[in-house]
Structure 1
Amino acid sequence: MSEVKRYHVTDSGLVEGQALGRISVVLASDYDAAVTHIRDLELLAGQEMKSTELATNAGLRVCLERDALQALLTAADERADVLEGLLLAAMPSKVCKCRECGGTSLTWYSHIKSNSAVAEGRLRTNEMSCVFFLGCDDCSETLAWVDADQIAAYLPISKP
């Protein structure tokens, strides 16, 4: 530290400055201030290390979360591919393009339909069924439909 004054010892006492071949000393108050300053610098360095460690841990957590989300997305994509294959297998004929407009942009949709004349909101689960239908994205033509029961026949049975 530049604020610490150094003295050298002579026959007449302490003289400010340094001299060759003489013993140099500092005042106790200057020494204490220098030690405190060094301790403060070490504490700051420790806090910076902790901040760096926290940032590294946060980065690692983000990477792990990203990998977990990617795994979930991959599994969902695989399930969608399997279900699309099941839908195509359950269809009576393979549809590749729209018979109305010739468009090839086709999408599967699902719909819950009522099997009774009961008012909406008072239905039981056995009075409803699910239907998948293939629609043209260009002209909204319905090209094919399949009952969910037909799809369920192709699904594997898993035991708990």
Structure 2
Amino acid sequence: MYAKNVMDSFYYLFIFIRSEPLNPVLYQILYKYKSWLHKDLKINYRSVNTLIKELNLVDDHQCKTRIISNLKKISVFDRARNIERIYLSILPIQYIIQSLINVIDQKETEKIRIMASSVHNYPSFILGKYYCNSIDFWNEHINYYNRTFQSDFMYDWKHLFLEYYPKNEN
């Protein structure tokens, strides 16, 4: 349940960044997630509660409120089916967060928007809610930023889409 909430919160965070690329509150939220995420993270009540406490220190904004409410959402039957994929994807998400912080630091609005746009469906894909062939997802979504800016964004994790994520989600 908590792992799904965390993935959903990333989905909304990336959408908010796409919409308001230079919003200082979103920048602060990215830093809170950056500090919270680590490769040995166990996503459970205690760790999510720690994240929520950190996010509460960020300036008030409707985006922050939406993200926190998503993290707090409790639904007994709403569990993550793909928990292994979630844990496998923590390092790529750390990379995404750091990359967004870097382009925000450079104040390159178009790069911020396109990067956030290229990854905003990644959390849904990890959860299995975005039904798409994994290679097509890489080519159409993640790799969109690379084609636009001749970059190697996320190339260190391309193998996940080719080898580990299922080829078909249907």
What is the TM-score normalised by the length of structure 1?
Answer: 0.22
The structure richer in strand per residue is: 1
The structure with the larger Rg is 1
Give the structure, 1 or 2, with the largest relative contact order (CA under 8 Å, sep 6 or more).
2
The structure richer in helix per residue is: 2
